[in-house]
Amino acid sequence: MVKIAFAGGSGNVGSEIIDVLVATQKHEIVLLSRKEAPVATQGITWVQVDYQDQAQLTKALNGVHTVLSFISEQDDPSSPLQKNLINAAVQAGVKRFAPNEWASSGTDQMGWYAYKGEIRRYLQQLNDKEKVLEYTLFQPGLFLNYLTYPYKSTKHLQNTETPFDFEQCRHLVVDGSITFTTVEDLAQVVARALDFESEWPVVGGISGNELSMEELVALSEKIRGKSAKVEKIPVEELKDGSWKSSWSPKIEHPSIPADQVDQLSKFMVGSILLGVSAGEFVCSDEWNQLLPDLEFTQAEEYLTKAWKDKP
């Protein structure tokens, strides 16, 4: 048993992973939070921290073996809070660190992920001359769970619309492919990775399913039993923002203020499609190879079950 610290992990993806770890009863779990603990939670110790206070963070990480970070800094691409956390982890003698990745392999087309790219560079520089901190970039691609929208398919992950609408069987597409992994499978990988005795790979790709746009459309038609309406968006129009479509999804996420959802949605959808076109949602399979006995959920089986008896 070792002590695992979650930084900013009280929502969405972090909570899915915490549930799996609590169920295993293998590790001591510490949740670092800006807020006080709302209620006592069995199996979890809450510690209120100020991420701007590196000395306080260092104290909070005393005796911690692994830190899993879910700190989002869309408003500051320099990512000062996550850098403070990394520096505190080094000072406290933390062995392993997982930065806030939990998504795509690439970030160039999606400006709100700029802080992820900055942290990748920061960690690489940290270990440039000698290994200071072991880390991995958990990259599962796009969560397969999103394709069950508007129906919730897991306990904590907040579902949202995507350009791939299974309910109405309509899709906005470009040429490209996407790695889809369920958040449940991601949680299992992380739980296994915490017990993994060998060194973590720097790039920790997780590949549940890799589907081309054509395969995704065909799958939606098979599962929903009707022809899909497909609109292929020109990449040049995505780049200059002039693209148009008969519909557009509304992207909702805890990190997006409610009064900005409409304004940001078209920009984000365009950026996501550019990311697909650039191959930024295709992830490698390092953890698949390191955990060969772990069976990953297949898209057709999962979505067929999720959409059964749905109107």
d(CA 311, CA 302): 17
Amino acid identity of 155? K
- pLDDT at position 40 is 62
Question: CA-CA distances (angstroms) from residue 100 to 71, 121, 196?
Answer: 6, 13, 20
CA of 213: how far to CAs of 178, 199, 242, in Å?
A: 8, 35, 22
Note the pLDDT of residue 127: 98
Query: Side-chain half-sphere of 98: how many Cα atoms within 13 Å?
Result: 31
Whole-angstrom Cα distance, residue 160 to residue 151?
9
The whole-angstrom separation of Cα 163 and Cα 161 is 7
Domains and their CATH numbers in the chain? 3-135 (3.40.50.720), 142-179+209-279+297-307 (3.90.25)
CB 206 within 8 A of CB 189: yes
Q: Which pLDDT does position 39 carry in this prediction?
A: 65
Nearest to 273 by CA among 307, 303, 244: 244
Residues in the chain with pLDDT < 50?
A: none
Give the Cα separation of 90 and 248 in Å (integer).
44
Helix axes 213-224, 299-307, angle to 10 degrees: 30
Length of the chain in residues, anyone? Answer: 311
With CA atoms as reference, report the closest residue to 276 among 176, 180, 208. 176
Query: What's the whole-model pTM score?
Result: 0.95
Residues 6 or more apart whose Cβ sits within 8 Å of residue 96: 65, 66, 67, 133, 134, 135, 136, 200
